[in-house]
Structure 1
Amino acid sequence: MKMDFKTYVLHASHFFSETEWRERIRSIDEEDDGDDNWGSNLPQILLEDIFALLVPKHRHEASQVCRTWYQAFYAPRVWGTFVLMQTTLTKRRFNLYKGYQRELCPRKTQVCLHRVGSLFKKIIITPLSDFYNLYEFLRVLTAFLDCPEEYRMPLLHTFDFTFACESRGMTGVIVHGTGGKILQILKSLLSNMHSLKHVKLNQLLLDAEEVQGLLEAIALNCSESLLTLELLNCSKVPLPMTDISQFSNLKTLTITPQHLDEEMVLLLGGMGLNKLHIVQDAYTCETEALSYEVWKLVKQMAPAFRVSLSIRGITRKDIIIQPHAPVYSIVFRTPYAKINLDFASNVCEYYKKTLEVFAQEGLPRNHGSRSFVERGDSTFVHLIRQCPSLKTLLIRERISTATLLIIAKEGKNLENLVVRENALIKKMDWPKTAGFSDEFYRFLKKNSRNQEDASREVSKMLGKPWKPLRDEEYKKVSIKL
């Protein structure tokens, strides 16, 4: 027999007295309240951390659960970092030729900026394949900041913009620059931002005549506040960015080598810059290294000036060696890079007194030979012997446990040694003619037979517990420059 809820209540009331019935309903209500209190009684700081992990859409949905969650939704810590991704602040709209598409909703964007925009400390714009959505967001954000009465984002200190310069079509991969209306609205946006401390403009790939005015837009209201600046591939061709001299308090500059020339390096050395990170990737155009005389003059002008070299992305290019530059760090963030004797010899020749970090991040995508002759064991040992200031060494290539022991022994100032467990070959394959004493050679033969003995001896040499990392752990290791 089927019955609706009203009929069920009438039938159930015959089995209980009025007092019992009211007590039963009250107990059910208390249980429901208890379930609600579980979420509303969470510590506020924990609730804010949870909200900060959600995308804006899910934050808004969670804010409707209870009053406590509604208050957490407007907490300043929740909106400290705003990340614009492919579907952020979009709505679904039907296109006659493409079907349903995600389109930026100006109304959602305006409401978001007016209600929580004043809490933004960092704005990150990820590469968006839909240029219309990108343009619309930049347009709405520019209009929001274009207020002469008051600056609407007083907490904002970081702006990170990366353009999606690569797309795939019928003919393959297409690489294109920004330019046009997107560049125009980007300049307007930068000129409306005040007191920024950190700015990143990556993969714009502009023509030489389009670059003019880009740094002037930043310097309009941030010439004295800017501390770090990142400019990766702003132009398609070699073009020095001499306008960087407008930022008088700049401390760290990350830039691709096509934006450097001898005059600019001297300019950077004279303006009090502390660190210069020279980065290469797949979109970096061909350029040549600067002369030794320039770097020698820079070291005389600014003894504290430090340079790091790195390469990232899916590329098989080699790092451009800057002869006798004050390089303290060399980092490979590409899966195809392998050390070779010529590169190591140049590193030892030019940077043996200054090099502190040599790292191969991530996992390799090339074959690693098990043959001692084809591996880089002797190259890494040569590097550690010739560079006594080396403190951090990350090796992802195949090496033997004997090589690991030699590196730990020869590294006079070595503090951090990271290798992959899957890349360790448990054997002693060094020839006796390698220049080792008889005692040390016996030590290598004894402790290189298994990983446990090798790890124990490395721990003794480094003076702290040590073990090789699994691939899942090694992938998470990142050098902070």
Structure 2
Amino acid sequence: MATVTAISAWNEALRSTDAWSFVRYGPELEENVYFAKASRDDFVTCLKKYGNFMRSLHLCFGYSIENFSTANTGEQIFILIQKKCNNLAALHVEQEVPEGCLDVHCYYWPDFVCDVVNAIAVHCKSVKSISLSQPIVNWSEDNMFIITTNSPAARKITELELSSLSFLNHDGKLKELQNLTALKKLTIRREKVNNEILLHLVKHSLRELVLYQEEELSEEDQKDLGEDFWSEVKVICPHFKTDLILRCIMILKIIFPPNMPLRYLILDFLVNVMTKGIVDHISDCYKDTLRRFTYTNSFLENQEMGDSRLPVALVSLAQKCSKLETLEYGFPLSSFSIILIAQSRKLKSFVVPSVEVSYVSDMFRDDMTSSEDEYLNFLKSAGSCRKNLEATVSHILGYQWTLLDGQLKVNERIKL
């Protein structure tokens, strides 16, 4: 700001919506509390001077919106946006919580957030899109937050991410979602939605769905979102996209119905081990849609893979899934299998922890032809050590590729 004051030409240039097409505040968690206070003060100054020219705002709070020992709390920021940002077209509000945090009460979104966001939706006439990421809501206080029928903001919410922390003291399905007729992308726990809720949203605007599942479903809930449901979704929206993040549950084929337009699949810390049969089922069902396959255990390393046929299934998955771009695998894998996977698909991201790699053959056969024998000798040489393996895969994929030093972990909150 001092530099702008010193150079008058810059000051004039900044008084234009072209200079403020996208403004991001935060993320606060990357700063300690003292720098975060100063950041809020600086952002308030910026809003006062240039808020009228801002077109798109992304607020990423890492500390309490309300209970923060600075004069410029989240409430002051929201009120200034309402008063100053007359040309605002898009608002994204995000709440981050430190990973592993055991007490989230100080991160609750107070009632004024709902009130001011609604006021922004009314008074900032140009606002077309409101996105909310991980609001921390205490539902026992009858706070239906911003998704009630008469909420002005509800008709402008285009993206909503509801993590586990967004459902404190909440039971049952979140039927109020049906009020969000402008919603284009929804991230939510699997047990909070059903056929009725999602079909209503798809018939309006919903185009992307991210489902978390971290507990076993009842038999009734398991029947929801089956093959017939996805057939109907594809008729309404042929380009619909679905992502699944599955943790701490038992993997069964019923979780992966045909016709689901599965784009990203992330499997972490499963109760049972994956089998070749399930991976083959995934390959067959989603060969035309799957772009990312992640399978790991964020809490353990150097573990048994369970089904010794999994490497063969992984090679087959890479061969069959024509849109696959990312493959992350945190279990034992031989250098042979890594090379075969790389040859099967030009992956943009291929992650394997170095501790899980063995430099031995797992594909010997007695009846090989001379050409097959020659290929096996190539695999033996290329996969004989880490240096040779990384050089070979780098050549195949067309970029510098290395094994991961450390454990393949999936963050508690995955942004897709």
TM-score, normalisation: structure 2: 0.70
List per-residue Cα deviations over 1:171-192 (Å, max 9, x = no partner).
Answer: xx3455976xx43111102102
**Candidates 189, 198, 201, aligned match of 2:133:** 201
Deviation at 1:260, TM superposition (A): 1.4
Structure 1 residues 131 and 346: CA distance shift in structure 2, 3 A = farther
SS of the equivalent of 1:377 reads helix
Q: Return the match for 1:230 from 161, 164, 172.
A: 161
Number of aligned residue pairs: 385
Q: What does the per-residue CA deviation read over 1:406-454, in whole Å, with 9 as the maximum and x for residues that have no partner?
A: 2133x2x544352347346352331425997643444433432234544
Which secondary structure does the structure 2 equivalent of 1:294 belong to?
helix
Q: What code does the residue aligned with 1:68 have?
A: I
Note if 1:275 corresponds to 2:208. yes
Partners of 2:52 and 2:85 within 8 A in 1: yes
2:26 counterpart SS class: strand
> How far apart, in 1, do the equivalents of 2:367 and 2:395 lie?
23
Q: Give distance in 2, aligned partners of 1:246 and 1:175.
A: 27
Partner of 1:81: 24
**The one of 333, 338, 352 aligned to 1:404:** 338
Change (3 A) 1:414 1:348: same
Counterpart of 2:6 in structure 1 is: 67
TM-score normalised according to structure 1 size: 0.62
The one of 214, 220, 245 equivalent to 2:152 is 220
Q: Which runs of 5+ in 2 are unaligned?
A: 122-126
Q: 2:119 aligns with which of 150, 167, 192?
A: 192
Q: Does the 8 A contact of 1:164 with 1:203 survive in 2? A: no
Kindly provide the amino acid, as one letter, of the partner of residue 206 in structure 1: N
One of 375, 379, 383 as aligned partner of 1:444: 379
Question: 337-346 or 262-271: which moved more?
Answer: 337-346
SS at match of 1:193: helix
Q: Deviation at 1:240? A: 3.7
What SS class does the counterpart of residue 160 from structure 1 fall into? Answer: strand
Residue type of the alignment partner of 1:255: I
For 2:77 and 2:325, the matched residues in 1 are separated by 45
Sequence identity (%): 16
Equivalence map 1:276-355=2 (5 Å): 276-279=209-212, 288-289=221-222, 290-292=224-226, 293-310=228-245, 316=248, 321-324=255-258, 325-331=260-266, 340-341=274-275, 344-345=279-280, 347-348=282-283, 350-355=285-290
Please say which of residues 365-374 and 252-261 is displaced more in the overlay.
Answer: 365-374
Alignment of 1:6-155 (within 5 A): 63=2, 67-68=6-7, 75=14, 76=19, 80-83=23-26, 85=28, 86-87=33-34, 90=37, 113-120=47-54, 121-128=56-63, 131-133=66-68, 137-145=73-81, 152-155=85-88
Q: Closer, same or farther in 2 for the Cα pair 1:415/1:177, shift >3 Å?
A: same
Contact 2:242–2:263 at 8 Å: present in 1 too? yes
CA shift, 1:68, in A, is: 3.3
Shift of 1:309: 1.4
Q: Which has the higher contact order (CA 8 A, sep 6+)?
A: 2
Distance change >3 Å, CA 83–CA 72, structure 1 → 2:
farther
Structure with higher Rg: it is 1
Whole-angstrom CA distance in 1 between matches of 2:62 and 2:389: 45
Could you say which residue in structure 1 is the equivalent of 2:197?
A: 264
Change in 2 beyond 3 A, CA 1:137/1:335: farther
CA distance in 2, matches of 1:434, 1:232: 53
Q: CA deviation at 1:401?
A: 1.3
Segments of 5+ residues of structure 1 without an aligned counterpart are: 1-59, 92-103
Indicate if the aligned counterparts of 1:426 and 1:448 stay in contact, CA closer than 8 A.
no
